[in-house]
Structures are given as structure tokens and as C-alpha cells.
Amino acid sequence: TVTETPAKSESPAKPPKSAPVEVAPATREFQLGRDAQPVETLKEGSMSAMLGGVMDRLSGMVGPKPRFKPKLPPAFQPEESARRGGTHGRTVRCFECNHQQAVSNSATSTQCERCSVYISLVDYDITSPWSQNIRTRGNVHIRRRGEVVGCDIACHDLEVSGKVSASVDCSGNAVFHQSARIMGSMYCRHLHVDKRREVIFPQGVVAESADIYGTVRGNITCSGTIRIFKSGKVEGNAVAKSIDLKDGGVLSGRMSIQPKIDITLPEKKGYLKKD
């Protein structure tokens, strides 16, 4: 009897030992800024580099891109400049004590450093009849159709293109494009009267300088120069550091030259200036 011996199952051949396989580490995250690559490196091999910048020239992107500059209001002042106490826009005079102080162009109000009175810096643009008092150290512009009669105006710069018959306290320039009548005396930095216009000052006008192209009826006192041009006429006395009377100009009154004249309004007593 033949006994069959079952054949031994052959075990699978083991692969030969080889060098250990290195597993690549997981890709770490790159943080923008610290690990960012320059643009030149990224452009290598790109279509833009292959075309030699043709696409850039066609799209108008050659050269540095213009920096975007947002539109800012005209009176904007950078924070750094404001913190350093940058240049002030103008000097205003207090209504009560005549103290003068510098304010920024962007300010809408302030407080007197000497008497603590509130000072508005709002501008007025008058285009219709007006009957209320104006008390500000902003600018007042009376348009051609504007009319201010029988009230008080306290402002910085005054520009008159309409009708005015009022009391004026002006700490800046006074420009008259139309005839006007000023009740009481007026103090201003610079007085300008246009040609063929007549401005009446029953109690006189005090200014640092004056350019007269039209007619001024009243006495003028200036710490600087009074210029009376060819078409200009002054019906009153003129007291100034110097008077420039052009050919054709008329001065019907006494003329007094005072080189050391001072027109600074004195600060009213009774107020203590803050340190």
C-alpha cells in the first residue's frame, strides 16, 4: 500500500531586505510674510516670464502700481501733525475781551483762553434776506441775492456781494463787492472796496491796510498803508503809517502820517489770562 504524503505548502518567498524607506514629513504650513518668496522667484517659469512681460505691458501694469490716495476734506489735518501741534490756520479774536488766539482750520468751535467764553467758528453763506444776529469767528459771505439789514455781524472774514446795512465786528479781511453802510465803527485786518462801489462808515473804520478802488465815506485809520487807486476816493480823514495816492485818486480830508501808529485793540480788564 502506497501512502501519499501531502506536499508541504510552500511559504511565500520573503522579499530581500532592503534599505529602510524614508517617509517624507508632512508638509508644514507656511505663514505669509515670514516664509513668503519674492515675486521674481514665483515668476520663474510662469507664462508671464515666458512671454517677457508682454501681458503686463498690454494690461498697463508695468512699473510700480500707483498708491491709492483716498480723497480727504480740505481742512483735514493728519493725526501726527495735530498731536505735534502743527501750524494753526488762523488767529481769532474773542467777542468779549478782545484776546487773540490761534485755532486750527478744522475746528468748528473753541473757547477763549482768557475769559472762557464760547466762540463759534461756523461759516455763513447768506443767499436770501437775513434778519438775525450773526456771532461767529468763521467767515461770512453775503451773496448777490443776500440781504442783511438791521442786525449785528461778528465774524472773521467778511465778503459782501449783496446788500448790507448792519453793525460789523470783523477780525479778518473785509471785502466789499457791493455798496454797503456799516453802522458804528468797524475794525478789520484788511479793507478792500471794489471799483464803482460806495461804503459808508459813519463812525470810521480801523484796519491794518486798505485798498480803495471805489468810494469810502468816513475816517480811515491804518497801521500799514492806505492805497487809493485811480478810481478810488476817500471822503474823510486818513491816518496811517503811509498813504499811496495813485494818479487820479482823491482824498478829501486831512492826511496824517504816523510811523508808529498802533491799532491793536486792548484786552478788556476784569479777566485773568489762564497760564
Q: Kindly state whether residue 46 falls inside one of the protein's structural domains.
A: no
Judge whether 222 lies within some domain: yes
**What residues have CB less than 8 Å from 175, skipping those under 6 apart?**
157, 158, 159, 160, 192
- The set of cell numbers assigned to 213 is 478802488
Query: What are the grid coordinates assigned to 142, written together?
Result: 453775503
Q: Are 148 and 154 in contact (CB under 8 A)?
A: no
C-alpha to C-alpha distance for 257 and 262, rounded to whole angstroms: 12
How many structural domains comprise the chain?
1
Whether 9 is covered by a domain: the verdict is: no
Indicate whether 158 belongs to any domain: no
Residue 85 pLDDT level (bands cut at 50, 70, 90): very low
C-alpha cell at 103: 485755532
Sequence letter at residue 156 = H
C-alpha cell at 229: 487807486
* Residues in CB range of 28: below 8 A, 6 or more apart: none
The pLDDT score that the predictor gives to residue 64 is: 57
Helix (H, G, I), strand (E, B) or coil at 82: helix
Q: How large is the average pLDDT for residues 208-237?
A: 95
Is 214 among the domain residues? yes
Residue 31 belongs to a domain: no
Q: What is the pLDDT of residue 105?
A: 83
User: Among 183, 182, 184, 203, which Cα is nearest to 193's?
Assistant: 182
Count of CB atoms within 10 A of residue 189's CB? 17
Q: What is the pLDDT of residue 13?
A: 56
Is 90 a domain residue? no
pLDDT per position as a tens digit, 153-200: 999 999 999 999 999 999 899 999 999 999 888 989 999 999 999 999
> What pTM was computed for the model?
0.66
> Three cell numbers at 86?
502743527
**Percent with pLDDT over 90 in the chain:** 47
> Would you state the cell numbers that stand for residue 152, as one nine-digit string?
449785528
Range of the domain at 256: 186-264
User: How do residues 258-269 score in pLDDT, each as one tens digit?
Assistant: 998 888 887 876
| 99 within a domain of the structure (yes/no) | no
| pLDDT tens track for 14-66 | 555 555 555 555 555 545 555 566 666 665 555 555 555 555 555 555 555 55
